[in-house]
Amino acid sequence: MTDTAAAVAAPHRHDTREAVLFGGVYGAVLASSMVAALTQYGEVSQASRRSDALWLLVTALVSALAHGYAHYIAERSPHRRWDALRALADEWPLVAAVMPTVVLLAGAGWGWWSAHGVEYVAFTLNIALLFALGVVTARRSHRPWSSAVLVGLADALLGVGVVVANALIK
């Protein structure tokens, strides 16, 4: 192995479970926070729900890019040619976690269901997603069911915190 090849080592790769948990939790909390912020003072027409869906998607993509870029520059070693793109691609769980809320908002915008009150469905959906992520990752770490449910409840409390904060701010 040459000195150059040794100097350009592979960057730290996060394991898939870690990436899915981090991105899933981040995405679900981001989705709830954005829904709360977008419905705080805005109207709740079909057009506004389509706009909300677009803003949520753009915010998730920009957040994923920022987080992937931060991982890329945080590696203090020399990088290979495609490492930046790999770091960005590793952020797919964050974007995937907001997609159910994007579809929910877009569906309200397209008239599939009422645009009024869809934020409460989004909050419930994201709390359930947080709970499921906590339980699944705890079980995959070989924790007993009782412990896994407690981890899921702790994760779900993040979503409940967003809902409570939204209610207090209104």
pLDDT in tens, 76-91: 666 666 666 777 778 8
The whole-number pLDDT of residue 128 equals 95
Q: Which residues contact 131 (CB under 8 A, 6 or more apart)?
A: 152, 153, 155, 156
Ranges of residues in the chain whose predicted pLDDT is under 70: 1-17, 42, 76-84, 170
The ranges assigned to domains in the chain are 14-169
The whole-number pLDDT of residue 102 equals 97
The whole-number pLDDT of residue 145 equals 96
pTM for the model: 0.81
The whole-number pLDDT of residue 164 equals 83
